[in-house]
Amino acid sequence: MVLQINTKKEQEMIEITADVRKVVAEAGVEEGVVVVYVPHTTAGVTINENGDPDVVRDILTSLNKNFPVVDNYRHFEGNSHAHIKASLMGSSCLVPIEGGRMQLGRWQGIYFCEFDGPRRRSVLVNVYRAK
């Protein structure tokens, strides 16, 4: 399944947990795993707290302090900061499924991380049944 995401800002984290849960439910898998994969070099995916929106703000602020948009980068497109941030977040995450439900912690959510937007992005979600 491919989720399409239209980002609205240059940098943002968009919670996609509900979308991934829907894919898992439609797959009907009771025991297995779900893989969430981002096929982009300036965007990523991560699991983090979804109970307090300040956590997302703090993550983005800290990433920008350490990897500012403008610095002494050599990449000609001017988006090296986005490549670095995407590498740190990672391009995939894996969540176990038990009893037909993702086994995320109480305060965990899955976030698509945009670092070079706004853009139309794809997120691949694959559900695998345990043997």
Q: Which residues contact 79 (CB under 8 A, 6 or more apart)?
A: 42, 115, 116
Phi-psi region of 119 (alpha: psi -120 to 50; beta: other; left: phi over 0): beta
Q: What is the pTM of this model?
A: 0.96
Q: What pLDDT does 72 receive?
A: 86
Q: What pLDDT does 78 receive?
A: 78
- For the chain (131 residues), the mean pLDDT of every run of 10, in chain order, is 98 98 98 98 98 96 92 84 97 98 97 98 98 79
Which domains does the chain show, CATH number per domain? 2-129 (2.60.120.460)
CA 107 – CA 1 distance, rounded (Å): 25
Q: Which one, of 89, 85, 83, 11, lies nearest residue 41 by Cα?
A: 83
User: Both tokens of residue 121?
Assistant: 């992005």
Q: What pLDDT does 131 receive?
A: 79
